Structure 1
Amino acid sequence: MVRDHGRDGHRQRHPRHALSLPAEISGAGLHRQRGQGLTALRAPAALSPPRNPSLNAVARPVTKGLLMSPLSIHSYTFVPTWTTAFGEKAARMASSTGYSHLVIPLRDHAAIEPAAITAMLEKHGLEAVTTANQRPDADISSTDRDIWRAGLERHRLSLRLARDIGARHMGGILYSVFGKAQHAAAEENVKAVAEALALLADDAAAMGLRLALEIVNRYESNLINTVAQGVDMMRRVGAKNLHLHLDTFHMNIEEEDPLAALEQALPYLTYFEIDQNNRGRLDRGSIDFGPMLARLRTAGYRDMIGVEAFSSAISGPEVAAGVGAWRNLFDDGAVVARSGIDVLRQAGFAA
């Protein structure tokens, strides 16, 4: 969706670009045919990864040499947690600093009020991007089938909430519980995730949604820490509406060669998130976003680019504990938001 300022100075909402999601999702891997049960899964087949079929699905138009990707920012950059009241503040600040999409976490289903959120986004000319999570008693990586089924149902409820607030993208650590594990993931855990994601991708497609697996570091998951592992999961599942989400903070920890990892991810990439090494301001830190953003430009990437940051002055106790936001890196999320726009402007992704 493109958002411009109309003659009266107010943001105008333009028609959405529909995602190119087929009614029947096909491909190699575990993805099931409609009408078949949980165990009626196709055998894996060799997969030659095509260029991402939805790469331009939510792209903004090219403007005088700019690749106008939709720009997204996480609500936790501005507020301590998600509530409707905090969401109003986050939406206002995201819109005023130049973003078109706001990340709304679905970690607490009771805090999601679809009607209020839809009105809030409409008011500020934004679209929702959602993230979803798992819990110890509801986890699709579990080999305990009761816990696995609970994880599947938790994600299905998240999908319905995402649909009801007008989102077309649900990402995050969809494949395991967030946090430091006590042991390595086994092949059985990986297979359990692939089976669940095949089913979820089918459900998401029926709602006009796509899924994106955020690749995170070893301290946040034991299952998908590198692009190579993410691509392996893509091949196991084989769903056309399942994609990858890269975050430079995590890449900086896990990838030997971030540019090579980006190259490997490009066929599946729908969300590229810039996030500094200390998770503070984007224009201060050790990560040089320039080479990666330049590669996205030469690849013609026009899907989502996100910004994320955390500070002890803003993050609530649960968020701070999860990401280790123990230091005051900034007092005002708007400063971080503008620093992200500055970085993206220099790379040709923002006006």
Structure 2
Amino acid sequence: MNNPLGIHALVFAGGTTTDEVDTITSGAHRAGYDIIEFSLHGLADLDTTATRAMLEDRGLTAICSRGLAPDADVSSDDLAVVQRGAELLHESLQATAAIGGIRLTGALYSAFGKAAAPLTGAGRRNVIAVLKDLAVEARRLDVVLGLEVCNRYETNVVNTAGEALRLADEIGEDNVDVHLDIYHMNIEEKNFRDPVLLLGDRLGYVHVGENDRGYLGSGHLDFDAFFDALREVDYRGGITFESFSSAVVSPTLSNDLSIWRNLWTDSDDLAAAAHRFLAERLARVPA
């Protein structure tokens, strides 16, 4: 396997000011990564021109991600709330394209956080309409949309690979694919192989993170089974390391993600260790 390897920006800095983007991109480049993933929850601070220049200078590909807030939830039954969410998604898509990003992914389909009730039929129809429109715009900008499969405590819309595949089919645009995250799979899926095989070439992006979001290999996740499944479907997309610690605080995301503990304090050491771990898994010959 020779997949491009990525790292989440929150390993290095909590925001997207120009100084923080410099820290993020220099750290990712130093550790040997190909991709940097930016969360777009701090859009107001992002200088897209400066960010694109730093990415190009350091030979990094950009991927962007985000979820939505309760007052901008495209899965709501309230059309005013849905409209605010749609506007935020289109703004995020424009920012992704402006920095040269190739993918906008995440919980694009709902507010991020534990829902108070199941998704309604009207809410689902709103999700499909908004994301179909977003996908049409994304195609013009040469950006792919990813539906990240998140656990039940973060969304009531998509919790399994099968649910994400169904939603992608209902959106019906060929630049919408599915994004698996082994951290969430550990909660919602029966194993790490079957969801990958179910998606096959509809799998467009992958997050890897330990069960406690700390150092890779320090927990109980069966990474060998997951990577063997990726190899089985000939997955060629990005594989991005995602880890969070209260050592690096995002003013908008740390509380949402329940980052209460210092799982690590040295960003460079964490990034280098993750790169070694991922490179070893790519080179591994299955038993």
> Which TM-score band (shorter chain)?
over 0.9
Secondary structure at the residue paired with 1:273? strand
Secondary structure at the residue paired with 1:229? helix
Which residue does the alignment assign to 1:345? 279
Contact 2:213–2:244 under 8 Å retained in 1: yes
Secondary structure at the residue paired with 2:245? coil
Where do 5+ consecutive residues of structure 1 fail to align?
1-66
TM-score by length of 1: 0.78
Which residue does the alignment assign to 1:20? none
Contact 2:210–2:216 under 8 Å retained in 1: yes
Contact 2:244–2:263 under 8 Å retained in 1: yes
**Whose helix proportion is higher, 1 or 2?**
2
Which residue does the alignment assign to 2:44? 110
For 2:9 and 2:146, the matched residues in 1 are separated by: 18
Structure 1 residue 349: Cα displacement: 5.5
Which residue does the alignment assign to 1:168? 102
For 2:30 and 2:89, the matched residues in 1 are separated by: 32
Indicate how the Cα distance of structure 1 residues 162 and 270 shifts in structure 2: closer, same or farther if over 3 A, else same. same
Secondary structure at the residue paired with 2:142? coil
Secondary structure at the residue paired with 1:271? strand
For 1:252 and 1:180, the matched residues in 2 are separated by: 18
Q: Deviations over 1:143-199 (max 9, x none)?
A: 212221221121111111111110111101100011111111122212211111111
Structure 1 residue 266: Cα displacement: 2.2
Secondary structure at the residue paired with 2:137? helix
Compute the RMSD of aligned alpha carbons. Answer: 1.5
For 1:262 and 1:128, the matched residues in 2 are separated by: 24
- The amino acid that maps onto 1:263 is L
TM-score by length of 2: 0.94
Deviating more after overlay: 270-279 vs 326-335: 326-335
- The amino acid that maps onto 2:13 is V
Q: Deviations over 1:114-161 (max 9, x none)?
A: 111011112222121111332222221112122212211211111111
Q: Deviations over 1:66-114 (max 9, x none)?
A: x221111100011123322111111111111111111111112211111
Which residue does the alignment assign to 1:237? 171
Equivalent residue for 2:201, pick from 258, 267, 282: 267
Structure 1 residue 317: Cα displacement: 4.7
For 1:280 and 1:82, the matched residues in 2 are separated by: 22
Equivalent residue for 1:204, pick from 138, 143, 149: 138
Contact 1:69–1:349 under 8 Å retained in 2: no
Equivalent residue for 1:143, pick from 64, 71, 77: 77
Structure 1 residue 258: Cα displacement: 2.4
Structure 1 residue 316: Cα displacement: 3.2
- The amino acid that maps onto 1:248 is I
Secondary structure at the residue paired with 2:41? coil
For 2:242 and 2:190, the matched residues in 1 are separated by: 22
Where do 5+ consecutive residues of structure 2 fail to align?
none
**1:297 and 2:231 equivalent?**
yes
For 2:69 and 2:149, the matched residues in 1 are separated by: 18
For 1:191 and 1:114, the matched residues in 2 are separated by: 33
